[in-house]
Amino acid sequence: MAEKTCTAQDNADSHQAVAPGKFYGPAWVDILDVDAQAKTVKFRTAQRGTNEPVEVKCEWTRQNVWARCPSTLDCDEQRLPTIGSSGKLYLSRSLVDIHQLDVDVKWPNALAGAPPEYRPLSIWPLSLQLRGIELATGTMTSATIDLMDPNLVGPGQTFTLEDKPLTVNVSQRGSFRFFAPWATLQALRIAKEMIIGERPASARDKARAWAQVAAWDDRLGGCDGPDSDQVAAARQLIVELTR
């Protein structure tokens, strides 16, 4: 589902509407569950100081969230988000402190005063370190990669830095930095054996196996034209798993 678009006027109106002494901070969230009758929402986001995601359940009130702009999650103060949607949601200081979330709580004061001045400066880049949390698998593993390292990141990419997730073309090594699955036919065969019980596997191994299946499902969904032998074999394995 598409994120909500906020204009400068929307953000300014929200800035004026916040009660004095209340502060919020932006977090990228995945909505896991919604109870419209109780007006509660459960979402997943990053926890401060760890590489693990955390699930938070709260009432949909200003005490916990600021659902208006500049939040980009598709919702408002009366209309709750839908299960499976993702976006930026501003969380209150109390909610962040209770759950130890990785959120910088400083809005709306961040909008006060004039913005800083920016001027061009010519720089010969040697390294561009990108630290982030991967969103593909839902495990939200954090890692750091050098955007100028051709062993990790594909060359010749253009990045637009906004307050939203980036998509980066990475190598297998780059993918493994985030413990994200790399879709290979052999890995898919092993995943199938784990899932159907032909190969011993822990709960964590089975979770990674299903992540491999999901990675192939995404890859197959973007295939156009006739299938190669590898793609055809992968499709058959997926069909056998999902019967």
User: What is residue 224's predicted lDDT score, i.e. its pLDDT?
Assistant: 67
Domain boundaries, the chain: 8-110, 126-179, 185-241
User: What is residue 219's predicted lDDT score, i.e. its pLDDT?
Assistant: 79
d(CA 236, CA 210): 16
Token look-up 């699930």 returns 55
d(CA 243, CA 239): 6
Is the pLDDT reported for residue 8 higher than 80?
A: yes
User: What is the tens place of the pLDDT at every residue in 54-87?
Assistant: 899 999 999 999 999 999 999 999 999 999 899 9
Ramachandran region of residue 120, left (φ > 0), alpha (ψ -120 to 50) or beta? beta
> Cβ of 66: how many Cβ atoms within 10 Å?
23
Cβ–Cβ under 8 Å, residues 70 and 3: no
Q: Give residue 225's pLDDT band: very low, low, confident or very high (50, 70, 90).
A: low
Helix or strand holding residue 208 (H, E):
helix 203-221
User: What is residue 110's predicted lDDT score, i.e. its pLDDT?
Assistant: 55
User: What is the tens place of the pLDDT at every residue in 161-201?
Assistant: 876 788 899 998 998 888 888 888 898 999 899 998 888 88
Collapsing DSSP to helix, strand or coil, 10 comes out as: helix
pTM for the predicted model, two decimal places? 0.68
User: What average pLDDT does the segment 37-65 reach?
Assistant: 91
Cβ–Cβ under 8 Å, residues 239 and 227: no
Q: Which of 32, 171, 25 is nearest to 99 (CA)?
A: 25
